[in-house]
Amino acid sequence: MTSDVSRVGMVEQHSITEGTLDRLRAAQADIREEYLADNTDPWIIGFSGSKDRTLVTQLVFEMLLDIAPSDRKRPIHVLCNDTLVESPVLMAYVDRMLDRLQTAADNLHLPIKGREDGPRTRPDLWVTSLAGAIRHRPGCSGGVPIG
């Protein structure tokens, strides 16, 4: 029986083409070159939990690990803007990922700050939509209490 590590290695070897690896290496080189350029402006990475944004965040994180600590001068902010139209399940996932990212960055002394931003004072769209859907169902009165 093959160990879990061997199975993962086999899957990775067969699922990533050489062309894809070349594009990833080129992206990593571009990210590194831009980060080390003579510029002190902070970076802001918009994070939504999607595959694309997660990959960009991972590439930046790995780039920081690959350069000398003395070269890690530009702050990086990983920001998720909660517009209150996203699923609460998705936002809980994003919250967990940002917490894990921040813990790892702190432990590794990387200049990364992750945070979620957005309005917190109005009702969540998901609750409002559900309430509207229940009120407008045939046979339901408009006075159905929504808790």
Query: Tell me, what's the pLDDT at 72?
Result: 95
In this prediction, residues 87-96 reach a mean pLDDT of 88
Report the C-alpha gap between 116 and 98 in whole angstroms: 8
DSSP H or E run through 54: helix 51-66
DSSP H or E run through 114: strand 112-117
Query: Tell me, what's the pLDDT at 17?
Result: 87
Give 102 or 17, the one with higher predicted confidence: 102
